[in-house]
Amino acid sequence: MSEITLQDIIKPENLVYKKTSLMTNKALSYCPGCGHGTTHRLIMEVIEELGKENETIGVAPVGCSVLAYEFMNVDMQEAAHGRAPALATAIKRLWPGKVVFTYQGDGDLAAIGTAETIHACNRGEKIVIVFINNGIYGMTGGQMAPTTLPGMKTATSPYGRDVATMGNPLKMTELVATLPGTYYVTRQSVQTPAAVRKAKKAIKKAFQNQLDDKPGVSFIEVVSNCNSGWKMEPVQSNTWMEENMFPFYQIGDLKVDGKLIDR
Amino acid sequence: MGELKLMKGNEALAEAAIRAGVDGYFGYPITPQSEVIEYLMAEKPYERTGMVVLQAESEVASINMLYGGGGTGKKVMTSSSSPGISLMQEGLSYLAGAEIPCVVANVVRGGPGLGDIQPAQSDYFQSVKGGGHGDYRLIVLAPSSVQEMSDFVPLAFDLAFKYRTPALIISDGLIGQMMEKVELFDQIPRLTDEEVIKRHPWATNGKPVGGERRILTSLDLDPHKLESHNWHLQAKYKTIEENEVRFEMLHCEDAEYIIVAYGSSARIAQKSIQLAREKGIKVGLLRPITLWPFPKKPIDELTKRGIKGFLSVEMSAGQMIEDVKLVVEGRTKVEHFGRYGGVIHSPEQVLEALEQKIIGG
Ligand SMILES: Cc1ncc(C[n+]2csc(CCOP(=O)(O)OP(=O)(O)O)c2C)c(N)n1
Ligand code: SF4
Ligand SMILES: [Mg+2]
C-alpha cells in the first residue's frame, strides 16, 4: 500500500468545510472559546449563502465586538455605544433594497441602547438584530450588565448581584417579542455543533425575512459565554452557561412569522 | 426669479430641505423649531421627491440616524434647539471622526438647562469650540434672515460633502419664528442610488462587486494611527479655514468703530448703526456668516487700519467676543454687549453700549 500524502487529501470531493470568504483573514481578537467569533462566522456564512455580500451593510457595536468590522468582509459602520439600531433604521429607510443588520452585546443593546432597541423594534424596522447576551460587560473588564444573573459575581457586583439594590436581569428578548413591530424573535446559543446548526438556521431565517420584505424586525439573541469575564476555562464556562444561563434565558423561538409562540 | 413666499424661518428651512434634494430628515420636536418637522410631515415630501421623513425617539437617535444614513452617501439632515443639540454632541463627535457628511440645524433658545423657548445665541461655544469630545470642528453657518434659512441648506450640504464633515446651521428663535419674504430656489433633484454609489466611493452602501468593502469608524486602537487620522482631520480643517470663510461688511469703509454680530444680533445692529450714523458716529458692521471658520482676516485688517474699538454684540454673556479678541490681540479695545437668557436687545441698547463701552469708555 502506498503512502497517502496531504496532496491526495486536499481535493474538491473531500472538502467538508471551508471558511467563508466573507470572514477576513485577520486573526479574531476574541478570547479562545468565546461565542462572538462563531456567531460572526454564522452571519457571514448566511449572507454568502444568500448571495448578498454586495448588498449588505452591517453595524458594529461598542463592546468586545467593536472590531466586528475587521472580521466581517462586507460594508460596515461602527456605531456609538448602543446606537446601532438608529443607524440601521436610517440605512434601511434610505436603501430599502439592501440587507441591513446590527450586531450588539447586552450592555450595548439592553442598557445604554435600550431606547434605540425598543423603538427600532416598535417601528417595525425591516432589519436583523443579532444580540450577544453573555451576562456581562466583556470589553471593559467584566462589570455587571443588565443581563447579569441574580447572585452572579462581576467586577461591579463583587459580592454577587443583589437584586434588591441592583435590580433584576432584563429579558430584552421577551420584551421586544411583545411588540407588534417584531416579526421573528428567537433565542439561540453556539456552544455545541448542534446548537451552532440551530443558530445558523435561525440567522438564515432572520435574513430571509428581510429579503422577503416581511414586516418588522427579526431579532436573534445568542446566549453566549464570556470565559474571561466569568473567570472560567472555556469548557467550564459553557457548562456554567448551560446550567445557569439557560434556565433563566430559555433557548428557542419566542415569535415566528409575527405570532407569539406558547412556551 | 424663484418662487416668492411669505414664510417663517423654520418653514423656509424645511422647504429648502425638500428642494435641496435631501434624502432623509430625522428629527424630534422641540420649541422653537417644531415647525420644521411639522411642515415636512404635512408636505408629504415622499410624494414630491421621495425624501424620507422620520420622527425619531430622541435627538440621540436622530443624530445617529444621520450617522447611518449619511454613512451610505445620502443627504441627511436634522434640526433641533439647544437642549436637543446638547444631546447630539456625542453623535457629532463620531460623525466628525468617521468623516460623515450631514447637516444639523440649531434654532437656539435661552439656556442653560431647559432655559426658555425665547431666542438666544448662547450656543456659540458649543458650536465652534468642539461641543463633543476630541479634536474636531464643525462648519458653522449663521443665517440672519428667513432668506438665508433657505439658502444655507444647499450651501451647508455642498460644504458637508466637499469636506466629508458635519455642517451646522445655527439660527435662533427669532429667525426661526419670524415671517419674511423668501425667494425659494428651484428644486434640486435627489441623486439616484446609482449616482450616490458613483459619487461617494467611501460610502457604505454595499461592497462593490469585485471590490473592497468600506468601513466607517471613528475607532483606532493604535495611538499612532489615531494620531495620523487626527493630522488628516487637522489638515482638512486648515483647508476649510483657508477657503470657506464667509462674512459680510456693512458701512465699514469709513468706520471708526465696528460692531461684530451674527444672526439676529446682526439684524438688530443694522438699525443701531443707522441710529449712530444719524448722530454722526462712524460705525460699521462685520457680520460673520461662517462662525467657524471665523472671519479672522477682515478683523485683523480692520484692526491694522486703526479701528478704535470693536463691540461684539451677541445674545449671550459674551462668547464670540473671545474669537474677536484672539484676532485683535490687545491692539485695540474689544467689548461685549448683549441681553441673554431669551431677552432680545433693542437697537437703542446696542447704540448706548457702543457709546458707553467703546466711544466713551
Ligand atoms: C458612551 C460610552 N459609555 C461607556 C463606554 C465603555 N464601554 C465600552 S464597551 C462597554 C460594555 C460592553 O458590554 P457588552 O455590550 O455586553 O459587550 P461585550 O463586551 O460583553 O460583548 C462599555 C460600558 C463607551 N465606549 N461609550
Ligand atoms: S472578554 Fe468575554 S466577550 Fe470579550 S472576547 Fe473575551 S470571552 Fe469574549
Ligand atoms: Mg456582554
| CATH number reported for the structural domain that contains residue A154 in this entry | 3.40.50.970
Q: What is the pLDDT of residue B130?
A: 84
Does A10 map to a domain? no
Which residue in B26, B90, B207 is closest to A90 by CB distance? B26
If you count them, how many residues does chain B have?
Answer: 361
Residues in chain B with CB shorter than 8 Å from the CB of A112 are none
Q: Tell me how many residue pairs between chain A and chain B have CB atoms under 8 A apart.
A: 125
Residue A72 neighbours by CB under 8 Å, 6+ apart: A22, A23, A24, A40, A43, A44, A58, A60
Q: What is the pLDDT of residue B361?
A: 72
pLDDT digits (tens, 9 = 90+) for A208-220: 999 999 999 999 9
Cell of A146: 443588565
Residue A1 has pLDDT above 70, yes or no: no
| Closest residue in B to A118 (Cα–Cα) | B57
Cell of B301: 485688517
Q: Are A136 and A226 in contact (CB under 8 A)?
A: yes
Domains B3-194 and B247-359 fall in the same CATH topology: yes
Amino acid at A207: F
Does A117 map to a domain? yes
Closest CA to B310 of B337, B278, B344, B270: B337
Question: Is A68 in the B-facing interface, judged by CB distances under 8 Å?
Answer: no
- Output b/e per residue, B166-199; b: 16+ Cβ within 10 A: bbbbbbbbbbbbbeeebebbeebebbebeebbee
Inter-chain CB proximity A86 and B68 less than 8 Å = yes
Query: Burial, A19: exposed, middle or buried (Cβ in 10 Å; 0-12, 13-18, 19+)?
Result: exposed
pLDDT digits (tens, 9 = 90+) for B305-345: 999 999 999 999 999 999 999 999 999 999 999 999 999 99
| Overall pTM > 0.95 | yes
Residue B129 neighbours by CB under 8 Å, 6+ apart: none
Question: Is A73 in the B-facing interface, judged by CB distances under 8 Å?
Answer: yes
Inter-chain CB proximity B204 and A77 less than 8 Å = yes
Average pLDDT value for residue range B340-359: 97
- Sole residue written with cell 413666499: B5
Amino acid at B231: W
Residue A170 has pLDDT above 70, yes or no: yes
Give the distance from CA A191 to its chain's centroid: 13
Q: Ligand 2: which residues within 6 Å by Cβ?
A: A 30-31, 34, 36, 64, 134, 138, 226-229
Query: Burial, B62: exposed, middle or buried (Cβ in 10 Å; 0-12, 13-18, 19+)?
Result: buried
What percent of chain B has pLDDT above 70? Answer: 100
Residue A98 has pLDDT above 90, yes or no: yes
Q: Does domain B247-359 have CATH number 3.40.50.920?
A: yes
Task: Report how far residue B50's alpha carbon sits from residue B58's, in angstroms, rounded to the nearest whole number.
Answer: 24
Inter-chain CB proximity B61 and A83 less than 8 Å = yes
Q: Are A55 and A98 in contact (CB under 8 A)?
A: yes
Does A22 map to a domain? no
Closest CA to B117 of B343, B314, B276: B343
| Closest residue in B to A53 (Cα–Cα) | B207
pLDDT digits (tens, 9 = 90+) for B257-298: 999 999 999 999 999 999 999 999 999 999 999 999 999 999
Residue B192 neighbours by CB under 8 Å, 6+ apart: none
Does A194 map to a domain? yes
Cα B296 to Cα B292, B299, B326, distances in angstroms: 10, 5, 9
Does A184 map to a domain? yes
B247-250/B52-55 β-pairing: unpaired
Sheet of strand B52-55, all strands in order from the earlier edge strand to the far edge: B52-55, B24-27, B76-80, B102-108, B166-172, B139-141, B290-292
pLDDT digits (tens, 9 = 90+) for B149-162: 999 999 999 999 99
Average pLDDT value for residue range A88-100: 98
Q: Does domain B3-194 have CATH number 3.40.50.970?
A: yes
Residue A145 has pLDDT above 90, yes or no: yes
Closest CA to A186 of A91, A135, A259, A137: A259
Q: DSSP letters along A46-103, please? A: HHHHTT-TTSEEEEE-SSGGGGHHHHB-SEEEE--TT-HHHHHHHHHHH-TTSEEEEE
Average pLDDT value for residue range B109-126: 97
Q: Are A113 and A89 in contact (CB under 8 A)?
A: no
Does A87 map to a domain? yes
Inter-chain CB proximity B74 and A94 less than 8 Å = yes
For residue B359, the CA-to-ligand 1 centroid distance in Å is 57
Cell of B303: 484692526
Predicted complex ipTM exceeds 0.90 = yes
Cell of A95: 436603501
State the average pLDDT for chain B.
98
Residue of B53, B55, B59, B65 for testing the chain A interface, max A β-carbons within 10 Å:
B65
Task: Report how far residue A123's alpha carbon sits from residue A217's, in angstroms, rounded to the nearest whole number.
Answer: 9
Which residues of chain B have a Cβ shorter than 8 Å from any chain A Cβ? 23-24, 26, 52, 54, 56-58, 60-62, 64-69, 71-72, 74, 76, 90-91, 94, 98, 193, 204-209, 213-219
Helix runs in chain A, H state only: 6-9, 35-49, 68-71, 84-94, 106-107, 114-123, 163-166, 172-177, 193-211, 227-230, 234-240, 246-248
- Sole residue written with cell 449588505: A56
Preceding peptide of B166 cis, ω within 30°: no
Inter-chain CB proximity B60 and A115 less than 8 Å = yes
User: A130 is in which domain, residue-wise?
Assistant: 30-260
Q: Are A257 and A209 in contact (CB under 8 A)?
A: no
Amino acid at B289: I
For residue A185, the CA-to-ligand 3 centroid distance in Å is 19
Residues in chain A with CB shorter than 8 Å from the CB of B204 are 57, 75-77
Task: Report how far residue A99's alpha carbon sits from residue A142's, in angstroms, rounded to the nearest whole number.
Answer: 33
If you count them, how many residues does chain A have?
Answer: 263
Q: Are B25 and B77 in contact (CB under 8 A)?
A: yes
| Closest residue in A to B50 (Cα–Cα) | A94
Inter-chain CB proximity B68 and A69 less than 8 Å = no
pLDDT digits (tens, 9 = 90+) for B45-73: 999 999 999 999 999 999 999 999 999 99
**Considering its fold, how many domains does chain A have in total?**
1
From the CA of B221, how many Å to the nearest CA of chain A?
10
Which residue in B23, B90, B217 is closest to A69 by CB distance? B217
Average pLDDT value for residue range A111-127: 98
Closest CA to B128 of B152, B96, B150: B96
Which residue in A59, A74, A78 is closest to B207 by CB distance? A74
Cell of A111: 442598557
Task: Report how far residue B254's alpha carbon sits from residue B208's, in angstroms, rounded to the nearest whole number.
Answer: 59
Domain ranges of chain B: 3-194, 247-359
